[in-house]
Every structure is written in C-alpha cells, then in structure tokens.
C-alpha cells in the first residue's frame, strides 16, 4: 500500500540511548514508485524528518532510528531553536516573532489519482495552522510538497518567510548541479561540491524567472555527478515568480535545503481566516545517477505537469528570425507555402502584426492594442487562416498579453493599469517604452483574458499561441494594491496571472500555448501546467544550443523544448554552421524552423524536407522516450552525444555532434545506454548527406554490444572537397528486429 502511517511505535529505547527525551512516535511513510520519505509525527511534538531515499519496507520505516544527535524538524519554524535557516517565520498581530509548531493531526486523501498526505501543525500558543502536504502517485518517482498557512488570529499576521519545503541531506561527498546564464546563454550547467556556508540561488525578476538562474537543482550524494550511477536527488520549485533556494552547510551532519517563494520585498500579510498556499516543491530520488532523476522528471512532467504532455507536437515555422517585424500578407503566405512544401504542419506569425494608432513596426509601440494592422494584413487574421488551410497546415499567433507600451491606446486610456510606484517616474523596459500590466488588478486580469478570448472567439481555428513576456518587474509598486499590501505585488502578480491562465484553459483547453520570455525566461514547472512547451532560448546557434539544451534537459523533456533550425550565419552568434548540423541539433528537441525559407537554397530545402519527414518517424521516440545523456559537451572532449529510447526499448534515436574541429584529435567512442541488451537493433542513419553510406548502415548489433562498445563515428562527412566543412554530426535510428 502506498503512503502508510506506520502506527504508533516506541522510540523510547533508542532515544533514551541517544540521550534524548522519551517519546512515543508515529512514523509516516510517504512512498513514490521508487522512494520513501519518513516523518515522525507525534501529536503535540515537532514534526521530524527521519528519512528520504530509496523505497523502504514498512518494517524498515517502523524501525528507523534518527542519527545520534539532532533530528531535524521537517518544516523548521523560526524563533525557538538555534537553527539559523528556517522554512517559516511570521510576525504575529501582537508583534511576537516566534513560532512553535507542533503536530496536531495527520490525514490523507485521494485527488485525481494522486495520494495526498497532510500533517497539520498548530502553534502551541497562537491560533496559526500550518498544513504540510505531500502528493505522490504510485507510478511516478516524483513527489510534491507544499504548505498552507492559515491565520486565525484576530489581527493580521505578517509572513516573513514561507518556504514550500525543506530537506536535510546527509553530508558525505555531496555535489550540486545548478543552471545559470543570461539572455541567449540560458541553463548552463554548473557542478560543484557543497562546502561550508550558505549557497543561495534566487530570482528577483518578478516575471522571467529562469532567465538567469533556474529554480531546479540536483544533489549527487556519492561524489561528482554521474549520469548513470550514484544516488541523486532532484528538486524543482514549481513557481513562475521570484524564488529562493537555500542550501545551508553548517556544523551539523547535514546540508539543509530550503526552497520557496523569494520572501525578499514580499512580506505577506494574512488577515483573520486567510490562508496562504505555497507553490509545490517537486522532489525525485534516484540510484541511477542524475540521468535517473531527469527521466523521472520527464515522465512526471509529461504525465502531470505540462499541458497535453501526451500529444505529439507539430513541426512548425516561426516567422521571427525570418522577417522580424516586417509582417505582410505576401510574406506570410510565402512562408506558409514554404513550410508546407517541406512537410511542416504549423505556421506561427510572430511579433509585428498588430496596432492601429501605434502600429507595431518595432519594439517601441503597440503592445496592448491587439488589433490587426490592416495595412500590413488587409485580409486580417482570417485571411491568414484561410491561407494556412489552403496549404493544409495550422496557424498560430504571437501575443505578449501581460505587457503594454507607453505608446499604445491601452496605456493612453488606462495608465492606472501598469505596475508603478507612487511618486516615482516610470522606468521602461524593452524599446524604452515597455511596461508591465499589473496582474494583481482584477480589471487587468480581465483585459488579459479578453485578449485571448477575443482572438479565439473570432478565430477558433487558431491552433497555437506564443505567449511572450519581455520585461521584468522594475517599478515596484501597484496602483491597485492598498498601501499596506504593496509588498504583495510580486506574489499577487503571479496569483493574478495563474487565475487568468486558469480561466483561459477552462475555455480553451485544446489550443497549444508556448511560454516564451525573451527566450528561456519561463522554463519552469510552475508555469508549464498552462503551457505545452517553452521557447528554450532566443539564441538558435546550433553549437551553443547543445550546451543550453543539455542543461535544460536535466529537468525538462524534449517534447517541451522548442528547438528551431535558423539561418547561417546565426543571428545571435554570427557563426556559420551547415544546415545538416543545425538540423541535427534541432531534431533532438521539438523540431521547428525559424528562418526565411526564401533565402534557403533548393538543396537546403530538399535536405530539410527529408529531415522533417524523418523527424516525423522518430517523433514518438524523441517526444515520449527516455533520455540518456551519453557524453556531455561540458566535458570538452570534442563530442556531445545523447539518445532517446522508446519505453518498450524496441526503438531508439542516437545523436552525435562534433563540438570542435582539431586536426588529428582522437575523439572518444560513445557507448550507448538504455537499450535492451538482448535485443538486436538495425542501424539506419537519418538526415544523411555523405556520398558513401556509413559502414554500419543497415547492419544489426545487439543492445549489449552497443551499450558496451558503441559505434565508431567517422570524424568527418564524406563529401566532395568544395562541400567539406569543419562540422560533423550524426543521427541514427535503431530499430529492433
């Protein structure tokens, strides 16, 4: 049975031995498919953390004994201990700053096929209730934890710290993997051993919260992170706003991990009877290294987090890098014809299509006025949809609903709708005119809902929306929130956005929506429930994408990772990479194009058409298969490689990219992973360009051989001299006989 309360058991013997107080305790075991979390929940006592690791039996859980020394509170509260970092702190109505939370009861319930265990804590003096929740599913390795904090005091209390969860991680040789970067360089992997002191990873952007640092981390418990072996824990804070992850390595035997909303500048007042619910912290444990954690998150993400995680994604062309703001009817029609002729299934018109009084010809005008610019598009949106239909493809559109330009009709009419601090001049973002709409304001929520509702009501055939967000909250002030609730802005913005997205999804459950925020600024499980996918980065350079997609893949599945073939030289790096390599990288995620097809040669178009066709063949494996990262680009061995294996292990796709060209460098051979050792696989190269077939083309090998040895990749492509370049890559389909 899942999630057992182990019953009342006596810890007296041990605790006496350990020199601690005599208590009787009730252990609660919370199980995922492969892991257990055990808590000691003795009524009237502190809730204690006993264990998080591989799945254990009820007997083991019953006999679990805390280490000699400290047993850590499972949800550390501030004020009555010396623990420097805590999960929760508040100022009571009378000014008292302490909490003393003890167990009041334990309950469980089922919700949507998930088991939810709730431990209710109450303060032993003040009428404050904290519910600590754990959500698990019998067929998933990921568990979620979050809390609900209720104030029953007569006057408001102020929450000054409100983490979603806490986990002590036993010291040993624990390493941290985290993800950092900047615009165009998102999600780069950092690995480091945890050393003494406080490590903080946080966002203060308000909106684009994965732009610089990610709210997901992995802990490798047995030394330097390894893809396949060693114990590892993955943690993802599922929140689209400001977050803070803290890892405190102090004098105790454990590293102390806390994750939650960033409380800086966000102290939250709770009136009598009000409840504050924290976002979920998702945790997964693995004894198959960090690769095991990734696979668990991918499966759970597809099944339970992102929208339509069970539906294959269409191959699309997005207009942005092809024409930027230069939208016109002929240009759009051309692009549609082109993508259809190459086998694409969807066309997405990006920025530049709207604005009447303030046409959107560049990034300085128009946001807020979501009315088609009839000068550019006389046939309107319907004309474009009809054109798409003629080409037998679907149509999608770009919007940036949470934002407004000062040069817009919306701002002229309603300057009170923007995020702005009293007595301060506005600070502008993109285009030196961009501002955030104040999503904490219900009227603004209505406007944002109506943007989508109007489009979808008028044009129900819109199949795809790219929802962008290109500005951080820079003016800390709400013209809607009262003076004593100004510190709620960041949190209430997110609440307002979530409410609006709920309403949109309730009415339009089927439309595909991409989360974009200046590239990879919204790559987060907190935002994904309403979105099908994310734009991984505005940087489409294939070489740099290998690094960024590598980092992104630690927590997010390929089905959600938009990856587009773009022009050469690349618009962000100016690097010139042949179409073969650009395609081979894009084919390892959700394949799309972002290029002016009119600038492609006939040969490039033919090659792309073939590749799109072949991608359709491997799409189920890439989008629903298990990822095995084989050789990391960060190891700088000259090669990066990964593969996806179908759940039945009857099919797999192997990717191999040369990441540098050094003369006479011996590149490492890459052994495969995740195959069935007893199955025999036939090898077929996809997107091939060589004159001669690969020596192993069409040949069969056992899974055992492929996993122990791998195949020798030729370092270069076999091409006529004038077509040779320093780039080389391979995509192989493996099918069992």
Give residues in contact with ligand GLA (CB under 6 A): 320, 350-351, 363, 398, 468, 470, 516, 518-519, 535, 538
Q: Cβ 228 to ligand GLA, closest distance in Å?
A: 35
Q: Cβ 531 to ligand GLA, closest distance in Å?
A: 14
Distance CA 69, CA 168 (A): 14
All residues at 6 or more sequence positions from 506 whose CB lies less than 8 Å from its CB, including other chains: none
Cβ atoms < 10 Å from Cβ of 196: 9
Q: Cβ 402 to ligand GLA, closest distance in Å?
A: 13
DSSP string, 712-728: PPPSS----GGG--S--
Q: Which DSSP symbol is given to 144?
A: E
| Cα dihedral 578, 583, 589, 592 in deg (nearest 10) | 110
For 499, the 3-state DSSP assignment is helix
Are 36 and 24 in contact by the 8 Å Cβ rule? The answer is: no
Q: Cβ 554 to ligand GLA, closest distance in Å?
A: 22
Q: Cβ 597 to ligand GLA, closest distance in Å?
A: 18
Q: Cβ 319 to ligand GLA, closest distance in Å?
A: 9
Q: Cβ 374 to ligand GLA, closest distance in Å?
A: 21
Instruction: Provide the greatest CA pair distance for the chain.
Output: 84
All residues at 6 or more sequence positions from 431 whose CB lies less than 8 Å from its CB, including other chains: 362, 363, 364, 365, 405
**With respect to ligand GLA, which residue has the nearer C-beta, 401 or 519?**
519
**With respect to ligand GLA, which residue has the nearer C-beta, 353 or 417?**
353
Tell me the residue number closest to ligand GLA, measured at CB.
Answer: 351
**With respect to ligand GLA, which residue has the nearer C-beta, 25 or 523?**
523
**How many Cα atoms are found within 13 Å in the side-chain-facing hemisphere of 550?**
27
Q: Cβ 466 to ligand GLA, closest distance in Å?
A: 6
**With respect to ligand GLA, which residue has the nearer C-beta, 470 or 570?**
470
**With respect to ligand GLA, which residue has the nearer C-beta, 595 or 627?**
595
φ/ψ of residue 273, rounded to 5: 80, -5
For 103, the 3-state DSSP assignment is strand
**With respect to ligand GLA, which residue has the nearer C-beta, 359 or 633?**
359
92-122 residues labelled b (16+ CB within 10 A) or e (exposed): beeeeebbbbbbbebebeeeeebbbbbbbbb
Which segments of 152-231 are extended strands (E)? 157-170, 175-180, 188-193, 197-202, 216-220
Cβ atoms < 10 Å from Cβ of 665: 12
**With respect to ligand GLA, which residue has the nearer C-beta, 272 or 571?**
571
**With respect to ligand GLA, which residue has the nearer C-beta, 175 or 320?**
320
Q: Cβ 509 to ligand GLA, closest distance in Å?
A: 24
For 448, the 3-state DSSP assignment is helix
**With respect to ligand GLA, which residue has the nearer C-beta, 176 or 562?**
562
* Cross-strand pairs, 83: none
φ/ψ of residue 473, rounded to 5: -80, 110
Strand duo 462-467 + 394-399: pairing: parallel
Are 169 and 285 in contact by the 8 Å Cβ rule? The answer is: no
Distance CA 534, CA 126 (A): 44
**With respect to ligand GLA, which residue has the nearer C-beta, 268 or 398?**
398
Q: Cβ 89 to ligand GLA, closest distance in Å?
A: 37
- Comparing CA positions, the residue from 67, 35, 34, 32 lying closest to residue 48 is 67
All residues at 6 or more sequence positions from 17 whose CB lies less than 8 Å from its CB, including other chains: none
Cβ atoms < 10 Å from Cβ of 21: 9
Q: Cβ 276 to ligand GLA, closest distance in Å?
A: 32
**With respect to ligand GLA, which residue has the nearer C-beta, 167 or 517?**
517
* Cross-strand pairs, 327: none
Cβ atoms < 10 Å from Cβ of 81: 15
The helix/strand count (H/E) of the chain reads as 13, 36
**With respect to ligand GLA, which residue has the nearer C-beta, 56 or 462?**
462
Structure tokens at 398: 């770009």
Q: Cβ 268 to ligand GLA, closest distance in Å?
A: 31
**With respect to ligand GLA, which residue has the nearer C-beta, 289 or 519?**
519
Q: Cβ 510 to ligand GLA, closest distance in Å?
A: 23
Q: Cβ 352 to ligand GLA, closest distance in Å?
A: 8
Structure tokens at 711: 């195949």
Distance CA 652, CA 703 (A): 11
**With respect to ligand GLA, which residue has the nearer C-beta, 115 or 321?**
321
Q: Cβ 516 to ligand GLA, closest distance in Å?
A: 5
Distance CA 604, CA 687 (A): 12
**With respect to ligand GLA, which residue has the nearer C-beta, 345 or 538?**
538
Are 261 and 217 in contact by the 8 Å Cβ rule? The answer is: no
């Amino acid at each position: 049975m899942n999630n057992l309360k182990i019953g009342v058991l006596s810890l007296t013997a041990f605790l006496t031995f350990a020199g601690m107080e005599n208590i009787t305790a009730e252990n609660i075991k919370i199980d995922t498919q492969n892991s257990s979390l055990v808590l000691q929940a003795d009524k009237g006592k502190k809730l204690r953390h006993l264990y998080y690791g591989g799945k254990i039996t009820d007997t083991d859980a019953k006999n679990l004994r805390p280490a000699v020394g400290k047993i850590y509170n499972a949800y550390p509260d501030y004020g009555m201990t010396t623990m420097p970092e805590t999960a929760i702190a508040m100022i009571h109505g009378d000014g008292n700053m302490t909490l003393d939370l003890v167990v009041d009861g334990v309950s469980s319930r089922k919700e949507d096929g998930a088991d939810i265990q709730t431990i209710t804590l109450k303060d032993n003096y003040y009428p404050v209730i904290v519910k600590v929740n754990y959500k698990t599913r019998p067929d998933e390795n990921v568990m979620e934890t979050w809390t609900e904090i209720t104030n029953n005091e007569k006057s408001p209390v102020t929450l000054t710290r409100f983490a979603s969860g806490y986990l002590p991680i036993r010291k040993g040789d624990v390493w941290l993997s985290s993800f950092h970067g900047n615009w165009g360089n998102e999600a780069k992997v950092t690995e480091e051993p945890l050393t003494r002191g406080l490590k903080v990873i946080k966002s203060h952007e308000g909106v684009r919260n994965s732009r610089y640092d990610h709210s997901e981390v992995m802990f490798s418990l047995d030394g330097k992170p390894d893809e396949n072996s060693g114990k590892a824990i993955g943690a993802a804070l599922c929140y689209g706003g400001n977050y803070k992850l803290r890892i405190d390595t102090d004098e105790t035997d454990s590293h102390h991990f806390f994750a939650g909303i960033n409380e800086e500048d966000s102290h939250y007042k709770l009136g009598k009877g009000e409840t504050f619910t924290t976002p979920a912290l998702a945790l997964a444990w693995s004894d198959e290294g960090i690769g095991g954690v990734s696979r668990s998150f991918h499966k759970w993400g597809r099944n339970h987090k992102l929208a339509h995680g069970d539906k294959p994604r269409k191959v699309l062309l997005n207009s942005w890098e092809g024409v930027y703001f230069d939208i016109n009817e002929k240009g759009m029609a051309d692009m549609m014809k082109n993508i259809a002729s190459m086998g694409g299934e969807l066309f997405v018109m990006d920025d530049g299509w709207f604005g009447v009084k303030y046409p959107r010809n560049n990034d300085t005008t128009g946001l807020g006025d979501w009315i088609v610019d009839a000068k550019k598009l006389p046939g309107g949106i319907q004309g474009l949809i009809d054109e798409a239909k003629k080409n037998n493809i679907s149509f999608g559109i770009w919007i940036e609903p949470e934002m407004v330009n000062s040069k817009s009709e919306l701002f002229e009419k309603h300057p009170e709708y923007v995020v702005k601090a009293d007595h301060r001049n506005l600070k502008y973002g993109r285009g030196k005119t961009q501002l955030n709409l104040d999503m904490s304001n219900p009227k603004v929520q209505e406007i944002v809902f109506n943007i989508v509702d109007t489009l979808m009501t008028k044009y129900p055939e819109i199949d795809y929306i790219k929802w962008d967000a290109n500005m951080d909250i820079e003016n800390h002030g709400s013209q809607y929130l009262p003076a004593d609730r100004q510190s709620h802005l960041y949190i209430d913005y997110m609440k307002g956005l979530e409410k609006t997205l709920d309403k949109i999804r309730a009415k339009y459950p089927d439309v595909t929506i991409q989360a974009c925020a200046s590239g990879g600024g919204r790559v987060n499980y907190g935002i994904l429930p309403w979105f099908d996918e994310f734009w991984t980065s505005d940087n489409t350079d294939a070489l740099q994408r290998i690094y960024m997609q590598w980092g992104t893949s630690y927590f997010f599945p390929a089905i959600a990772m938009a990856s587009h073939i773009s022009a050469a030289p690349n618009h962000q790096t100016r690097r010139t990479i042949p179409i073969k390599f650009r395609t081979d990288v894009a084919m390892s995620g959700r394949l799309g194009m972002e290029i002016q097809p009119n600038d492609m040669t006939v040969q490039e178009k033919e090659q792309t058409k073939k590749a799109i066709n072949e991608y359709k063949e491997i799409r189920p494996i890439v989008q629903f298969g298990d990822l095995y990262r084989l050789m990391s680009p960060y190891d700088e061995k000259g090669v990066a490689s990964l593969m996806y294996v179908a759940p039945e292990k009857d099919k797999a796709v192997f990717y191999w990219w040369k990441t540098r060209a050094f003369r006479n460098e011996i590149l490492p051979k890459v052994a495969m992973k995740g195959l069935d050792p007893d199955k025999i696989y036939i090898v077929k190269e996809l997107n091939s360009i060589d004159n001669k077939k690969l020596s192993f083309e069409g040949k069969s090998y056992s899974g055992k051989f492929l996993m122990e040895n791998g195949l020798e990749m030729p370092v270069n492509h076999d091409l006529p001299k004038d077509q040779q370049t320093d780039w080389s890559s391979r995509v192989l389909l493996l099918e069992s006989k």
